[in-house]
Amino acid sequence: MSYARQLLDSYQGTVNVDVAMLAATIDAISDCAQACTADTDADLGEQDLTEMVTCIRLCLNCTDVCTATAAVISRPADWDADVARPLLQACVAICKSCGDECERHAHMPHCRVCTEACRRCEQACRELLDAMK
Amino acid sequence: MSYARQLLDSYQGTVNVDVAMLAATIDAISDCAQACTADTDADLGEQDLTEMVTCIRLCLNCTDVCTATAAVISRPADWDADVARPLLQACVAICKSCGDECERHAHMPHCRVCTEACRRCEQACRELLDAMK
Amino acid sequence: MSYARQLLDSYQGTVNVDVAMLAATIDAISDCAQACTADTDADLGEQDLTEMVTCIRLCLNCTDVCTATAAVISRPADWDADVARPLLQACVAICKSCGDECERHAHMPHCRVCTEACRRCEQACRELLDAMK
Amino acid sequence: MSYARQLLDSYQGTVNVDVAMLAATIDAISDCAQACTADTDADLGEQDLTEMVTCIRLCLNCTDVCTATAAVISRPADWDADVARPLLQACVAICKSCGDECERHAHMPHCRVCTEACRRCEQACRELLDAMK
């Protein structure tokens, strides 16, 4: 069981969304941030760098958006949907773009791994957004 | 002239928004992230901590959202409004909440400074959002 | 298998340390950053806040140091021991202090979880430092 | 006067280093993080990307180390030299490397700006380290 889940299970206040779903989303977002950081470095090691520029830029944005989103939703007290919702929407948008671009390079193992991380993160954020309605 | 402005002035590609406005927004967001980090620490030094809890939580979220937003809009190539817009909206929302809460403690010098940083950041993000329409 | 491990396994360049150890360290550091973020929020929900101030401050520093360290060691190309070594040392120092403080509150489930995350991270960083000698 | 300085001037506890120097260091580090983020994006827009790969990697590490260092030294309560010192040393090391590499590209305006930001940050961190002895 991830630390995110263990910490949410120990939470004493009210959490307005399902704890298992929230923990899974935090984990998916954190994993995606890490995958994008590593994929950026792997992209920079490729021969045809011109082909990788868009992928690198998207991975950099994805890392930053995911890092902020994971942190904010890890603080369920004083949960503010006016902050969490647009953040999760930004996360969905960048994970979609980054996942699509990585999929174009899915013959490169690092981009294949990063595609999976982005898809899982996008899906988890969509589900959390749906649950917040 | 800030580094943000100098770097945007040296930018070779197309930037879809006014460079002076974009640079000012980056600076206002970076300053706000820094002010909120320092204000969190100052809040933790106050006698009546119960009074400061909401302020601390908002400052923590504000730092994280501002840090991501400043980074993403510092990469004007492949600018994606579907990512930048919700990020800036999240930034406006958290700066409004954090600024309001800090203003309630405006008799504390550190919260007075942080109020100003949040207000400037909120205003700059609103102007950039308006310019993106 | 974590994304960190999968991405390192796909790495085409030379990695100067054992890949399994490096991946495990990245995972332990990322997990610790997440645990400290969540523990900060849980600490802020405790009744006796005065008792939690040091814990909160250490968790905040631990999150920031871990986030930077995980990112830097996720970029094994151009590995620079003059940067990685002091970063890992800072990580060991803050995880030791934060783990010790959390252990003082081990009757609180959230601090018990965070203690474990800090201890694992400290141990992983020490092993990586030893392997770099 | 920067927010860092205003917030430190309002600080009620004991700060173990000169407040003006500490504030100037926080500002120099924050500015360097921002410059390196923007320079990464500008590097990715250059024609000869192979020439820029090392610069990009160093800028990415520099951003991450600077962000963590600025945050930690913005929390002067419970100042722990065993954490702050290696962090500042990591910051000096990466700013030196990144500044040297950017200087090699000083004919590119964005790398000239980033060189200046790295040099100022390195110098400020060295002075703070000297003052901590």
Q: What is the mean pLDDT of each run of 10 residues along chain B (133 residues)?
A: 91 83 97 97 95 98 98 90 97 98 96 98 97 87
Chain C's closest residue to D64, CA to CA, is: C68
pLDDT tens digits, one per residue of A62-80: 999 999 999 999 998 878 9
3-state secondary structure chain C: CCHHHHHHHCCCCCCCCCHHHHHHHHHHHHHHHHHHHHHHHHHCCCCCHHHHHHHHHHHHHHHHHHHHHHHHHCCCCCCCHHHHHHHHHHHHHHHHHHHHHHHHCCCCHHHHHHHHHHHHHHHHHHHHHHHCC
Confidence tier at C71 by pLDDT (50, 70, 90): very high
Give dist(CA B95, CA B118) in Å, integer: 5
Cα–Cα nearest to A41, from D127, B52, C79: C79
Amino acid identity, position D126: R
Closest CB to B50 among C49, C57, C60:
C49
- pLDDT computed for residue D14 by the predictor: 78
Report yes or no: A65 and B87 within 8 Å, Cβ to Cβ.
yes
| Residues in A touching D43 (Cβ below 8 Å) | none
Nearest to B75 by CA among D47, D106, D39: D39
User: ipTM beyond 0.85?
Assistant: yes
Chain A: give the shortest CA distance to residue C21, in Å.
Answer: 16
pLDDT, position B91: 98
* Cβ of residue D68 closer than 8 Å to a chain B Cβ: no
Cβ A41–D57 below 8 Å, yes or no? Answer: yes
What's the average model confidence in pLDDT over C60-66?
98
Residue C74 has its nearest CB partner, among A38, A75, A116, at A38
- d(C-alpha D94, C-alpha D80), whole Å: 21
Query: What mean pLDDT is reported for chain A?
Result: 95
CB contact under 8 A, A87 and B90: yes
Could A87 and B65 be called an inter-chain contact, meaning their C-beta atoms sit closer than 8 Å?
yes
> Do residue B87 and residue A82 have CB atoms under 8 angstroms apart?
no
- For residue B12, the distance in angstroms to the closest alpha carbon of chain D comes to 8
Q: Tell me: pLDDT of D27 over 80.
A: yes
Among D residues 32-51, those touching chain A with beta carbons less than 8 Å apart: 40-41, 44, 49-50
Residue type (1 letter), B87: L
Q: Is the full-model pTM beyond 0.95? A: yes
